[in-house]
Amino acid sequence: MPATMRGALHDPRTGIHLHQELKMPVSFPGSALLRVRRTGICGSDLHMNNERKEPQRVPSGHEVAGEIVELPRGETGLKVGDRVAIETIGEGRACLTCWYCRTGQYRHCINRVEDTGGGFAEYMTRRPAGLHRLADTMDWRDGALVEPLAVSVHAVRWGGMRPGETVAVVGSATIGLTAILAARHLGAGKVIASARYPQQAAAARAVGADQVVGTEAGALEAACRAATDGRGADVVFETVGGNTLATLEQSVACARPQGRIVVIGGFRLPQPFDFLTPMLKEVSLLLASCYGIVDGRHDYEIAIDILANGKSPLRETVTHEFPLDRIEQAFATAYDKKTGSIKVHVAI
């Protein structure tokens, strides 16, 4: 194997990812070596760019699909050459023996191995347990969409959405779109979403939203009441996060009394929150992070099932693709929604 690889690290002095030669990722006991083929730029990658003050030590990138190059001795469930969606955060780094791992909640493992680098590079290392084989009908674009879809599959299942329920989705960026698709696939009766940009609104309809409204004050709340004889949505998925609680407060207003709110968006700063209204409405507030095993199945497995026909409308949300040596342009495009971007992929 080569001693170096192509990759990219964020430079806080310039605020951009710089394409450069890097050392090969560290192999740890029981790890597999993977050739990265496609990595999506997540909203959290954009947020972290703005917040990171120190130079990166290893590449980031967690929406990854790739090919197995080497496997640890004794591994029989996979083979070299398999095309896989790579679970980089939990199962791929988990100890697999602690209480959380034994219950399938790998994201919360208390003995995770050190991060050896993510998908903004040619190679990475992870445990075979975190490698989920792609269906033959899926291409690399589909493979790199498994991770964000699994996030929303987890949120829908963790939030206990029941077939036939009315669902509201706050925001139609990538996680909002995957929440729409996951809710629809898992039996939602009606899905109402908000979208800030025209390309997001069109994509929300394409992946299964029955109604899409803008982000002007009161629009989503009114749509939820109108669709439910004034009650409000049974389940609300907040997918925006950010530095204010405006979308969380909107979620409370959209939910019916005794409804549920599932927060998937990342709120970046501590904020005061008025609990009186949700308390009087008896709203359940649930927080969802990443993925794991729910009711005996891994969220990645269900995400792959949804994408397995190779014709999912979600693949059309990949509006831009760039090679690794143009990752600076890839990030600039992901930031600037006036480009028409929804999901930007780096092909490696």
Q: What's the structural domain count of the chain? A: 2
Residue 42 lies in a domain: yes
Choosing from 248, 265, 287, the residue where a domain stops is 287
Question: Quick one: residue 310, left, alpha or beta (phi over 0 = left, psi -120 to 50 = alpha)?
Answer: left
Same domain (yes/no): 259, 332: no
Do 16 and 107 fall within a single domain? Answer: yes
Same-domain check for residues 206 and 224: yes
- At residue 142 the predicted structure's pLDDT band, cuts being 50, 70 and 90, is very high
Tokens 């925006």 correspond to: 240
pLDDT of the residue at 68: 98
Q: Which pLDDT tens digit goes with each residue over 187-206?
A: 999 999 999 999 999 999 99
Reduce the DSSP state of residue 77 to 3 states and report it.
coil
Mean pLDDT of the chain: 96
132 and 113 share a domain?
A: yes
In whole angstroms, give the CA distance from residue 28 to residue 100.
21
> What pLDDT, on a 0 to 100 scale, did the predictor assign at position 55?
85
pLDDT value at position 310?
A: 85
74/114 same-domain check: yes
Mark residue 40 as left, alpha or beta (left: phi above 0; alpha: psi -120 to 50; beta: remaining).
beta
pLDDT in tens, 277-290: 999 999 999 999 99
Q: Do 81 and 200 share a domain, yes or no?
A: no
CATH code for the domain in which residue 330 is found: 3.90.180.10
Least confident of 6-15, 176-185, 197-206: 6-15
Domain finish residue from 243, 265, 287: 287
Identify whether residues 253 and 333 lie together within a single domain. Answer: no
Q: Which residue, of 265, 287, 309, is where some domain finishes?
A: 287
**Per-residue confidence (pLDDT) for residue 53, from 0 to 100:** 76
Q: Is residue 27 part of a domain?
A: yes
Phi, psi angle pair for 104, to nearest 5°: 80, 15
Q: Could you tell me if 116 and 189 lie in one domain? A: no
Query: What pLDDT band is residue 218 in, cutting at 50, 70 and 90?
Result: very high
- Domain assignment present for 154: no
Q: DSSP state, 93?
A: T
43-48's contacts with Cβ under 8 Å and 24+ in sequence apart are: 43/173, 43/174, 43/175, 43/266, 44/266, 45/331, 45/334, 46/331, 46/334, 46/335, 47/266, 47/268, 48/10
Question: Is the per-residue pLDDT at 49 higher than 90?
Answer: no
pLDDT at 179 over 90: yes
Segments of 134-244 assigned E as strands: 166-170, 190-194, 211-213, 233-238
Q: Are residues 242 and 109 in the same domain?
A: no
Q: Read off the pLDDT band of 308 (50, 70, 90).
A: very high
* Tokens 């964000």 found at: 148
Model confidence at 48, in pLDDT bands (50, 70, 90)? confident
- Pair (100, 186) in one structural domain: no
Inter-helix orientation angle 140-158/299-307, to 10°: 130
Q: Which residue has the higher pLDDT, 309 or 154?
A: 154
pLDDT score at 256:
98
What CATH code is carried by the domain that includes residue 213? 3.40.50.720
**Is the same domain home to 322 and 204?**
no
Q: Is 99 exposed, middle or buried (0-12, 13-18, 19+ CB in 10 A)?
A: exposed
Three-state DSSP at 236 gives strand
Q: With respect to residue 271, please indicate whether it lies within any of the assigned structural domains.
A: yes
Render pLDDT for 88-114 as a digit per residue (tens, 0 to 9).
999 999 999 999 999 999 999 999 999
pLDDT tens-digit readout, 221-265: 999 999 999 999 999 999 999 999 999 999 999 999 999 999 999
Rounded Cα distance between 236 and 281, Å, is 14
Do the bridges between strand 166-170 and strand 190-194 make them parallel or antiparallel, or are there none, so unpaired?
A: parallel
pLDDT exceeds cutoff 90 at 2 = no
State the residue range of the domain holding 249.
Answer: 160-287
- 193 and 232, same domain (yes or no): yes
